[in-house]
Chains A and B, each alone.
Chain A
Amino acid sequence: MANTSVMIVGVGGQGTLLASRILGNVAIKKGFDVKVSEVHGMAQRGGSVVTYVKYGDKVYSPIISEGQADIIIAFEELEAYRWLPYLKKGGRIIVNTQRIDPMPVIVGLKKYPDSIIEKIHSLGAEVIPVDALKLALEAGSVKAVNVVLMGVMAKYTDIDKEDWLNVIENTVPARFLEINKKAFELGLALNN
């Protein structure tokens, strides 16, 4: 099959790395070749972060160039908007409707763009807004935003729920397992 290219974008510290590792390991279970490219170091300190997950019969480049992503999972609205040009024609973007002001906005040099979801929609992309923070809190922790979004993502793959849950079990610390399982279910159950 043709490779599937997924970008996970957000703000350093939001847990994008864990999400990419879950997705990467789920893809392995399906017997795909997989590459996951991460960001470490300075950008993790509240900067704009992006991880790339690619899977298929044979993956060469671990990163995704503009116009090549099948799916973008954005943990924050501004980051969804920033990385939108990476989406393929007919691609899909899942957006956590959370807003985190970047420093130029905080210090008043720039304005946080308004109505981002509507703008993404009017630019012709299929956008799936999700209040993942609310669902994460419902599951028991603000930190579970990443797993809620994996639940939403799961609907758009033909990978079994059991495979996802199995990988989550092997990826998250045992004491947070119940919260994360619930977070995944809440994401999966969303009707958009």
Chain B
Amino acid sequence: MKKLLLGNEAIARGAYEAGVTVVSSYPGTPSTEITEAIAKYDEIYSEWAPNEKVATEVAIGASFGGARAMTAMKHVGLNVAADPLFTCSYTGVNGGLVIVVADDPGMHSSQNEQDSRHYAKASKVLMLEPSDSQECKDFVAEAYNLSEQFDTPVIIRLSTRVSHSQSLVEIKERENIPLREYKKDAQKYVMMPAMARKRHWAVEDRIKALREYAETSKLNRIEWGDRKIGIITSGIAYQYAREALGDVSYLKLGMVYPLPEKLIKDFVSQVEQVYVIEELDPFIEEHCKALGCKVIGKELFTVIGELNTNIIREKILNIKTEKPISVEESIPIRPPVMCPGCPHRGVFYVLKKLKLVVSGDIGCYTLGALAPLEAIDTCVCMGASVGAALGMEKARGKDFSKKVVAVIGDSTFIHSGITGLIDVVYNKGNSTVIILDNSITGMTGHQHNPTTGFTIKGEPTRQVDLVKLAQAIGIERVKVVDPFDLEKFEKTVKEEIAAEEPSVIISQRPCALLKHVKYEGPLHINGDKCTRCKMCMRLGCPAISNKDGNMTIDITLCNGCGLCVKVCRFSAIEKVGDING
């Protein structure tokens, strides 16, 4: 049977069919749907871990324990998981171990555009790269076989367009893979210098063997066509190239590390001109050039952003794409915004009003950096808000710290904000940290986390108590406030930044998109009472706009959260039903 599946769903299906029994991940666009889809299979234990490092460690443990295991994350998640990755390269596996990493060329939803293929080379781990959903599923099956055959973790690299494109996949039955025997083997699994030195030799032997394998693997294939042009490519770039160039010759690499040598040399020798087409860094190209092959790559193509068929056709065939319609008028951009009813809006309204320096973090609330709120000063990576706030204080002194707050979401705080907060307490910082507790992991599309009280499958579980947690590490000033109580929220922030010790403010209100959040329906601006003072416009609510001098509320967007009612000094904002009342 054939089904239309996202690349991510096909990875999940592949894990199911390959008999995987343990999956641990942390959500991150564009990887999230892999683990969400896996959670639907009862045969697989799945979980959201607090972060990618823990997730990878759980998967490693499951592999040591004899199971086929998986972890999935976005590209920056692999930075967090890099520590276990580099050493599990040394230990190797017992049950097959697959690490799925989804890159985001073009940065649709990311803070950088790193090319994760470098991790495979740096950690000396086999990496596969599928180019559509069918390959996603097939490569997972192959990855488990190779993992167990070569005693190595295997990384599967995706990119946004593979993860988030649906294409047809042939569905099969699940294979029953018996749990492998667990045997204590300190020489293999205890990585301290004496053992690790020996294991490094094993790693180098393994890479040699894999390089041999790459020469004949069915994952790397040649599609012969016109031999004037030869294309070496992999992943989504293969699809773009096939559409743009049609019947030329292709060396399509499914295995991107280690790369074959003889296969590439043979291919290059049999075509007139070879181009390497790959998104981001010249990873394959540099390998080809190191082999002495005359190929053209980044001389033509950028290392920034995504490729597409037009770019490829233009650069290689010199055919300019006909653009029948061009619009001369300047079109306003439409950046993403915090949703109507978003609890974070109250927080940033107050922080902007108080003119504070705001050390930001990763989540929906990063949107507080955009106009009109423009209330965030910095954003680097998951958890950075807390450490960076402390760093600013240590650089500029305690008085400056009284103008600084860190803002961090509930899930991000558990991911890696907690360690920063321990640093604040331990090293006598004065920081004020606002934890934006909206009862869910928001940006990635509503995943549970240790603070929500539910597992990935929606089963009730123990809930991390953020108040007690902050107290336990030594924060004495912990306040819980509703960010829609603007007056109280402002008062609390003023008190806590003035305090001569670190504080935590837990801003508590659920995400407006959660099903159980019910506001009373759209509001309306009474033109007779409205003085056009535009205070409501300062909230940056997408439902309120200025139509030729008159503030109006779009009833298709407004959910009636009532925040604008609180900032309107003339009681001009009313429920729609009250218009005639």
Say yes or no for A125: interface residue by CB 8 A criterion.
Answer: yes
B332's partner among A59, A68, A78 (CB-CB below 8 A) is A78
Q: Which residues of B contact A24 (CB under 8 A)?
A: 4, 166
Q: Find out whether the CB atom of A142 lies under 8 angstroms from the CB atom of B556.
A: yes
Q: Find out whether the CB atom of B242 lies under 8 angstroms from the CB atom of A60.
A: yes
B325's partner among A36, A113, A125 (CB-CB below 8 A) is A125
Closest-by-CB residue of A relative to B538 is A107
Say yes or no for B326: interface residue by CB 8 A criterion.
Answer: yes
* CA gap between A88 and B336 in the complex, in Å: 28
How many CB-defined contacts (below 8 Å) exist between A and B?
Answer: 192
B contact face: mostly helix, strand, loop, or mixed? loop
Say yes or no for B308: interface residue by CB 8 A criterion.
Answer: yes
Q: Find out whether the CB atom of B325 lies under 8 angstroms from the CB atom of A87.
A: yes
Q: Find out whether the CB atom of B309 lies under 8 angstroms from the CB atom of A61.
A: yes
Q: Find out whether the CB atom of B164 lies under 8 angstroms from the CB atom of A43.
A: no
* CA gap between A13 and B364 in the complex, in Å: 14
Q: Which residues of A contact B554 (CB under 8 A)?
A: 100-101
Q: Find out whether the CB atom of B308 lies under 8 angstroms from the CB atom of A36.
A: no
Say yes or no for B304: interface residue by CB 8 A criterion.
Answer: no
Q: Find out whether the CB atom of A41 lies under 8 angstroms from the CB atom of B333.
A: no
What are the 5 A-B residue pairs with the smallest beta carbon separation, nearest first?
A: A41-B109, A41-B29, A47-B336, A62-B165, A102-B334
A85's partner among B325, B332, B542 (CB-CB below 8 A) is B325
In chain A, positions 78-130 with a C-beta closer than 8 Å to chain B are 78-79, 81-82, 84-85, 87-89, 91, 98, 100-113, 119, 123-125
Q: Which residues of B contact A105 (CB under 8 A)?
A: 332, 545
Closest-by-CB residue of A relative to B542 is A46
* CA gap between A47 and B109 in the complex, in Å: 11
Which bracket fits the contact residues of B?
A: 35 or more
Say yes or no for B264: interface residue by CB 8 A criterion.
Answer: no
Q: Find out whether the CB atom of A106 lies under 8 angstroms from the CB atom of B324.
A: no
Say yes or no for B200: interface residue by CB 8 A criterion.
Answer: no
In chain B, positions 301-356 with a C-beta closer than 8 Å to chain A are 308-311, 321-327, 329-339
B166's partner among A36, A44, A123 (CB-CB below 8 A) is A36
Which bracket fits the contact residues of A?
A: 35 or more
Say yes or no for A150: interface residue by CB 8 A criterion.
Answer: no
Say yes or no for A63: interface residue by CB 8 A criterion.
Answer: yes
Q: Which residues of B contact A79 (CB under 8 A)?
A: 334
* CA gap between A63 and B239 in the complex, in Å: 10
Say yes or no for A34: interface residue by CB 8 A criterion.
Answer: yes
A62's partner among B239, B370, B540, B542 (CB-CB below 8 A) is B239
* CA gap between A42 and B339 in the complex, in Å: 11
Say yes or no for A33: interface residue by CB 8 A criterion.
Answer: yes
Say yes or no for A16: interface residue by CB 8 A criterion.
Answer: no
Closest-by-CB residue of B relative to A89 is B324
What per-residue 1/0 map shows which CB atoms of A123-157 lie under 8 Å from chain B?
Answer: 11100000001000000001000000000000000
Q: Which residues of A contact B310 (CB under 8 A)?
A: 65-68
Say yes or no for A35: interface residue by CB 8 A criterion.
Answer: yes
Assess A89 versus B545: contact at CB under 8 Å? Given A81-B331, A119-B329.
no
* CA gap between A14 and B440 in the complex, in Å: 22
In chain B, positions 151-167 with a C-beta closer than 8 Å to chain A are 161, 164-167
Say yes or no for A175: interface residue by CB 8 A criterion.
Answer: no
B240's partner among A48, A61, A91 (CB-CB below 8 A) is A61
Q: Find out whether the CB atom of A67 lies under 8 angstroms from the CB atom of B324.
A: yes
Say yes or no for B135: interface residue by CB 8 A criterion.
Answer: no
Q: Find out whether the CB atom of A41 lies under 8 angstroms from the CB atom of B30.
A: yes
10 new A-B contacts, CB < 8 A, other than A24-B166, A62-B165, are: A28-B168, A40-B164, A41-B445, A42-B336, A44-B336, A45-B443, A106-B540, A107-B537, A107-B540, A110-B330
Looking at the assembled complex, report how far the CB atom of B161 sits from the nearest CB atom of chain A, in whole angstroms: 6
Looking at the assembled complex, report how far the CB atom of B551 sits from the nearest CB atom of chain A, in whole angstroms: 10
Q: Find out whether the CB atom of A102 lies under 8 angstroms from the CB atom of B108.
A: no
Q: Find out whether the CB atom of B324 lies under 8 angstroms from the CB atom of A103.
A: no
Q: Find out whether the CB atom of A100 lies under 8 angstroms from the CB atom of B367.
A: no
Looking at the assembled complex, report how far the CB atom of B8 sits from the nearest CB atom of chain A, in whole angstroms: 9
* CA gap between A154 and B9 in the complex, in Å: 28
